[in-house]
């Protein structure tokens, strides 16, 4: 299988997982969910935390999963501030190198 095909499969998987996690966040009653934006790095998608609560800002904890074929993966967390009814940019779901993917998941939120 070609590296480009593998990269495309990983990008599609990341988009599907992000959609599932967004739906899971809505079902769990979270105010902040991951949403997509414009295309970035040719095969990726801009990722944002969107706050669906128009009455309050939040500090949102996001799990970031990194994957690079041949090098493995890693997991980290970051906290971003999201204004009431607004959104905050997280990054691109695809890296500049073939096959590199980033998956973002909301794992916690705290009303400001």
Indicate the domain borders of the chain. 3-111
Buried b (16+ CB within 10 A) or exposed e, 48-71: bbbbeeeeebbebbbebeebeeee
pTM of the model: 0.71
pLDDT tens for 78-108 read 999 999 999 999 999 988 887 889 999 999 9
Buried b (16+ CB within 10 A) or exposed e, 11-32: beebbebbeebbeebeeeebbb
* Overall CATH class of domain 3-111: mainly beta
- Both tokens of 69, joined, read 């074929």
pLDDT tens for 36-47 read 889 998 888 999
């Amino acid at each position: 299988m070609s590296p480009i095909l593998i990269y495309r499969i990983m990008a599609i998987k990341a988009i599907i997982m992000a959609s599932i996690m967004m739906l899971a966040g809505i079902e769990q009653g979270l105010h902040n969910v991951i949403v997509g934006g414009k295309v970035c790095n040719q095969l990726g998608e801009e990722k944002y935390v969107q706050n669906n609560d128009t009455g309050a800002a939040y500090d949102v904890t996001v799990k970031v999963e990194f994957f690079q074929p041949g090098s493995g993966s890693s997991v980290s967390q970051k906290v971003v501030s999201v204004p009431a009814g607004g959104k905050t940019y997280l990054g691109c779901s695809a890296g500049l190198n073939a096959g590199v993917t980033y998956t973002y998941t909301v794992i916690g939120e705290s009303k400001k």
